[in-house]
């Protein structure tokens, strides 16, 4: 993955800067909404103006970022795809076809998933910082929930990598299995693909379920602490919204982590073809 970041550093710098600015806007929304509520209760329109300015600015950045992304990543895929196919000329059609699809997966990760990953990471950090200023006990609860999530996925990381390796091995055999014209060979290949997908899905479902229990416990605790310890209505709303935003980020980050494990395994297969 470093190969792509290093070679197309200028394009990545531009798109990542826009993603960070957009993410910062989304992080501020609960706080500004809370300020708007308190402002209206105090017969002032200042908070509403702040909310409107934030909304327009964030949406403008989001639109520009999407326009830039489609052009930047489309060019990257075309360039690397041509080089990879040419470099793998001695490989089988099955391998070249599978790896071209894998390259598309990596490019789509940077175009579609990376903005969500950065949003989640910045949202997580920004949320924790703001929660610490609103309610310290809830802040400690967030840290405990985050530590539990990290531990859970660290324990299953190697298993995820092994399952992805098996699935990618089968992907590289797919075209040959179809071209063979042997129903038995094709059926065996498809059943193997199904088994690897089921293993990955079962592992993801188990991790998601356990992690959700952590997050629900945090939410119940946060609502109780916010109502009993925070006097302003707007601050209560902001605190609960930030905890919910924290939950969303913590639930999404492991999915990105699992995707990154898969793409790391793929990038090892493509590294020799795309160059350094």
The larger pLDDT score, comparing residue 227 to residue 142, is at 142
pTM check: above 0.75: no
Residue 144: the pLDDT is: 93
Q: Residue 181 has what DSSP assignment?
A: -
Model pLDDT for residues 143-153, shown as the tens digit of each residue: 999 899 889 88
Would the pLDDT of 273 be above 90? no
- CA–centroid distance for 67 within its chain: 20
CB 4 within 8 A of CB 270: no
| Average per-residue pLDDT for the chain | 79
| Right CATH for 2-274 from 3.40.50.300, 3.20.20.140, 2.30.30.240, 1.20.1560.10 | 1.20.1560.10
Model pLDDT for residues 182-228, shown as the tens digit of each residue: 778 778 878 888 888 888 888 888 888 898 899 999 988 988 888 77
Rounded-to-integer distance, Cα 84 and Cα 234, Å = 55
Angle between helix 93-108 and 233-274 (nearest 10): 150
Residue 250: the pLDDT is: 84
> H or E segment at 39?
helix 9-41
Q: What is the mean pLDDT of residues 119-127?
A: 80
Tokens at 91, concatenated? 């490989």
Confidence of residue 35 (pLDDT cuts 50, 70, 90): confident
């Amino acid at each position: 993955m470093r190969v792509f970041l290093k070679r197309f550093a200028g394009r990545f710098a531009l798109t990542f800067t826009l993603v960070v600015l957009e993410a910062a806007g989304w992080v501020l929304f609960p706080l500004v909404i809370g300020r708007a509520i308190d402002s209206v209760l105090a017969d002032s329109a200042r908070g509403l103006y702040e909310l409107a300015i934030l909304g327009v600015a964030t949406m403008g950045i989001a639109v520009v970022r999407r326009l830039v992304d489609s052009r930047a990543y489309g060019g990257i895929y075309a360039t690397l795809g041509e080089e990879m196919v040419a470099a793998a000329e001695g490989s089988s059609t099955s391998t070249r076809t599978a790896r071209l699809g894998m390259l598309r997966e990596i490019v789509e990760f940077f175009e579609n998933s990376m903005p969500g990953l950065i949003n989640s990471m910045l949202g997580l950090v920004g949320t924790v910082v703001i929660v610490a200023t609103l309610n310290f006990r809830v802040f400690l609860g967030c840290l405990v929930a985050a530590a539990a999530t990290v531990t859970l996925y660290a324990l299953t990381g190697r298993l995820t990598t092994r399952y992805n390796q098996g699935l990618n091995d089968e992907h590289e055999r797919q075209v040959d299995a179809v071209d063979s014209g042997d129903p038995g060979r094709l059926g065996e290949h498809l059943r193997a693909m199904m088994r690897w997908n089921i293993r990955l899905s079962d592992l993801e479902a188990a991790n998601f379920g356990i992690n959700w229990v952590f997050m629900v416990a945090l939410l119940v605790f946060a609502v109780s602490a916010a109502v009993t310890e925070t006097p302003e209505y707007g601050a209560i709303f902001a605190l609960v919204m930030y905890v919910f935003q924290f939950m969303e980020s913590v639930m999404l980050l492991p999915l990105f982590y699992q995707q990154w494990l898969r793409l790391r395994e793929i990038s090892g297969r493509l590294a020799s073809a795309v160059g350094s």
